[in-house]
Structure 1
Amino acid sequence: MRKKYIAFDIGGTRVKHSLLFEDGTFIEKNQYNTSTTDLQQLLADMVRTIEQYKSSHRVCGIGISMPGFINIETGHAETAGSVTALEDKNLKTLLEQKVNLPVEVENDGNCVALAEMLNGNARDSQNFICITIGTGIGGGIVLNGSILHGHSFRGGEFGFMVTQKGANGREIWHHNGSTSSLVEEYKKLKGINPDSTIAGEVIFEEAAKDNRVNSLIDEWLSYVGCGIYNLAVTLNPEKILIGGGVSAQEDLLNLMRTQFEKLEFWENFRLPILRCKHKNDAGMLGALMHFLSRTENK
């Protein structure tokens, strides 16, 4: 009988969850709103979901993808991004006490890289970088076929790189190269209420008819390109994969390449820049892969 596993991808807005076979084939999947500040509600929602799957299937374990600095040995999250309920908490221990199943937890950016290595656009690569561009910037580094976690499980936290020296409040990549930073600058340019919700694709559509918006995107892309360039020259990977909602913009990669061509030494470090294959499913697939690797090692 083929083994079945539950995977969660905990985000700042939604919790995606699924039941999968060991090879990453989805049996079923769904999602619900994240209780970002209420730990007891967040746990209750997860336990309810797990019990629903268990009522119809024999489940062998649970893999979880979530933001933050995650100690994969213990399951402790020193930080948890916008999911503040999980900050300085051990979700592995908390869930194992309630559902009587083994649980493993991994950083969401690393899970994207694991999914791409399984059967995505890095399945033939041993050395690559995934960069996710969204509310912030994250990702994963794979060297010699393994995730680079770093000394204190902070490997792949690209968003903290300084990419705009001297810019008040916008020095780090999170604050000048993320989609949310582009949206923030667009609102300022257009005089839009800061609390309004603007989708990134709206800005790209606007750029076709407004030169000021087009210039804004060019400036944003220069910061995106700077960060990617820094990673390329530091780690010399086989390829770099771009994920996050903005990666769906059709001409984005070509626009990025235009920025690289402006950099003096890009010719010496040129490499393929591709989209991630897996979109909303990446976190769940990667969480499963992490669970399997941890239990195999044990």
Structure 2
Amino acid sequence: MENIIGIDIGGTSIVGGRIEGDIIVAQVSADTHAQEGGEKTLDTLKGVIRQLMTIDTRAIGIGVPSVVDREKGIVYNVQNIKNWDEVHLKSLLEAEFALPVHIDNDANCFAYGEKIFGKGRDFENFVGITLGTGVGGGIIQDSHLLFDSNCGSGEFGEIPYLDSILEEYCGSRFFIRISGRSGYEIAVKAREGDPESIEIYNQYGKHISMLVKVILLILDPQAIIFGGSISRSFDLFSEAMYENLKNFPYPKSVDKIKILTSDLHNMGILGAGALCV
């Protein structure tokens, strides 16, 4: 059966999958070798692809945590991988495997993965937001990724907020900073009824409401779809989020917006693979 390959390159591991239809039928992971970087990481990536390729593979999609020249497939300034400051990844891999290669920022991949495989199928215009160590964003307009100049739109986490930026209050560092515990640990205690943990998630919901307000004011989409590890605790912060949206200057926008959480598993693989569709 005809298939595509989706690869999620992270600072710790490279995870890839072979996708047939909308199902991952094979999966491979390998250490990124980020501290060695350069050719070592590239060779690891090629090895993952070789393990997944079949004679029926028609394209390869790759998500990277950095800025990408989509047209030329050049990856710039990957902060967590040594000596990946300018990697002509598309041309290198197409020469190696004789297949079309599509590359984009990992947050954009998440958003497009939702459009092709997930809840985004119901919307023409939405924003996908990943809540994890960082806060990444991808924008879908007219059912396509927003084609910006430098692959940098949707980086709402970098917007100045309070004494820092939104990412410091909407990503995992928020929980570490105020309690010394991970968001997961606090979520466990909150579900056990611990008042302090419940209040921490109420505070987090207030900060998330600011992120939602920014998105509404800039893009006014049909939906926002949250993914990433913290989104699994949506039930713990959604009430506070909605409470703090009541002062938004355009209440009709709040009434109409759909705020959802992703139910895709292996979203990095599916998101990267979606670039091939």
Output the TM-score relative to the length of structure 2: 0.88
CA deviation after TM superposition for structure 1 residue 218, in Å = 2.6
Contact 2:172 2:182 in 1 (8 A): no
Q: Secondary structure at the match of 1:218?
A: helix
CA deviation after TM superposition for structure 1 residue 80, in Å = 2.4
CA distance 1:220–1:186, change in 2 (3 Å): same
Structure 2: stretches of 5+ with no match in the other structure: none
> What's the counterpart of residue 279 of structure 1?
265
Question: Are residues 1:269 and 2:253 paired?
Answer: yes
Report Cα offsets for 1:83-114 as digits up to 9, x if no partner. Answer: 34433222222323433333221111111111
Aligned length: 273
CA distance 1:251–1:40, change in 2 (3 Å): same
> What's the counterpart of residue 103 of structure 1?
101
Q: Equivalents in 1 of 2:161, 2:102: separation in Å?
A: 34
Report Cα offsets for 1:59-85 as digits up to 9, x if no partner. Answer: 222110111111110111223243344
> What's the counterpart of residue 92 of structure 2?
94
Contact 2:8 2:63 in 1 (8 A): yes
Contact 1:186 1:213 in 2 (8 A): no
> What's the counterpart of residue 167 of structure 2?
174
Structure 1: stretches of 5+ with no match in the other structure: 188-197, 293-298
Alignment of 1:96-175 (within 5 A): 96-164=94-162, 167=163, 171-175=164-168
Q: Equivalents in 1 of 2:240, 2:103: separation in Å?
A: 33
Report Cα offsets for 1:11-46 as digits up to 9, x if no partner. Answer: 22222111122x333221132232223122211212
Q: Secondary structure at the match of 2:161?
A: coil
Q: Secondary structure at the match of 2:34?
A: coil
**Percent identity, aligned pairs only?**
26
Partner amino acid for 2:80? S
CA deviation after TM superposition for structure 1 residue 256, in Å = 4.6
CA distance 1:157–1:79, change in 2 (3 Å): farther
Of residues 2-11 and 206-215 in structure 1, the stretch that sits farther from structure 2 once superposed is: 206-215
> What's the counterpart of residue 189 of structure 2?
206
CA distance 1:252–1:34, change in 2 (3 Å): farther
> What's the counterpart of residue 10 of structure 1?
9
Q: Equivalents in 2 of 1:30, 1:266: separation in Å?
A: 47
Of residues 117-126 and 12-21 in structure 1, the stretch that sits farther from structure 2 once superposed is: 12-21
Alignment of 1:247-262 (within 5 A): 247-249=231-233, 251-252=235-236, 254-262=238-246
Contact 1:203 1:213 in 2 (8 A): yes
Q: CA RMSD in A?
A: 2.2
Q: Equivalents in 2 of 1:259, 1:72: separation in Å?
A: 39
Output the TM-score relative to the length of structure 1: 0.83
Partner amino acid for 1:205? V
Report Cα offsets for 1:189-212 as digits up to 9, x if no partner. Answer: xxxxxxxxx542101223455544
Q: Secondary structure at the match of 2:18?
A: strand
> What's the counterpart of residue 179 of structure 2?
186
Normalized per residue, the structure richer in strand is 2
Question: Are residues 1:290 and 2:240 paired?
Answer: no
> What's the counterpart of residue 193 of structure 1?
none
> What's the counterpart of residue 67 of structure 2?
69
> What's the counterpart of residue 218 of structure 2?
234
